[in-house]
Amino acid sequence: MDRFSWHVTSDQPGLITSSSELLVRAEPTIGDEYLKDCLIVVGGQGVSASGWINRVRAMQRLKRPAILLSDAATKYIKTSATLSGPVTTHWRDIGILHETGDYPTLTNHLVENNNGILTCAGQSHTQEIVIGLLSAFLNPQDCAELSNTLILENVRGFQRDQPAGLSKSPNFFEKRLQNAIALMEGNVETPLRIAFLAGEIGVSTRQLERLFMFYLGKSPAKFYKHIRLKHAQALIVDTQMPLIDVALASGFSTSSSLANSYRQEFGTTPNKARNRKN
């Protein structure tokens, strides 16, 4: 006998696909009726809150958990008039939200619970979120066996910080390189001089050059520009921030200098990238 059951519903029922090419058949969503014990909202590119937000509010009134993953969490944060409690989303969007609005209760935690609405980082942490929810119904041995089946060595708690940025991947980078990348990621708007970066991590400029070339195949300057351009790309695609403001927020003095570097990196212009998204 199954201990749990689930249903996949959508405002656009039928066969639906994901960016990972997962194909499922979804039943029609009917307003805020036929609510279950738990609601999980799966986000995606261009996610709209027009339908599911009412179901989330209805779940909250019934004191049942509603879990918003990644893009859905971002959409909820953007569309909520006031946020009285803590919220979070994927670290990729946290920086953009801070750039484009005032969200004093936004945190970098993996999950935040605000009166039954759980905003989450999503992505690979989704399995751990589900195990955390099931732990209220399963005994510790069952949770441990489930984690083992999913090859999860450690189920992180909701209040753990997200490992945001390349510098938070210690398995792939030598420690000094990791520290240099952390400084770059933390100083996008006002780029640091390469000589200063080298001094901060205790190596010479030449040693820093060798580290980057050996592990990444790029000079520190080129890698630093790549980080800034990735930041600019997120602001261009996911916000309507004026391009001059995007340029300044990404360490470029003018929108034309941003456009030239952007074209070299991505093969298109900021305007075309934004129009394609829209």
pLDDT digits (tens, 9 = 90+) for 61-84: 999 999 999 889 998 998 886 777
Residue 156: inside a domain: no
Tokens of 11: 């405002």
For residue 169, pLDDT beyond 80: no
| Predicted local distance difference test score (pLDDT) of residue 101 | 85
**Mean pLDDT confidence for 259-265:** 95
Same domain? For 183 and 248 the reply is yes
The DSSP-derived string for 78-132 is: HH-S---S-B---HHHHHHHHHHS--TTB--BSEEEETTEEEE--GGGHHHHHHH
Same domain? For 124 and 230 the reply is no
Same domain? For 174 and 135 the reply is no
pLDDT digits (tens, 9 = 90+) for 193-240: 999 999 999 999 999 999 999 989 999 999 999 999 999 998 898 788
- Number of structural domains (the chain) is 2
- Residue 113, beta-bridge partner list: 118
Share of the chain above pLDDT 90, in %: 43
| Predicted local distance difference test score (pLDDT) of residue 170 | 67
Same domain? For 107 and 178 the reply is no
Residue ranges making up the domain that contains 213: 166-277
Share of the chain above pLDDT 70, in %: 94
Q: For residue 25, give the 3-state DSSP assignment.
A: strand
Residue 64: inside a domain: yes
| Predicted local distance difference test score (pLDDT) of residue 278 | 55
One-letter identity of residue 88: T
Where are the extended beta strands (E) located within the chain? Answer: 9-10, 14-17, 23-28, 39-41, 66-69, 111-114, 117-120
Residue 160: inside a domain: no
Same domain? For 107 and 223 the reply is no
What's 33's domain CATH number? Answer: 3.40.50.880
Q: Which of 89, 119, 149 is the last residue of a domain?
A: 149
Same domain? For 142 and 170 the reply is no
Q: Is the pTM of this model over 0.85?
A: no
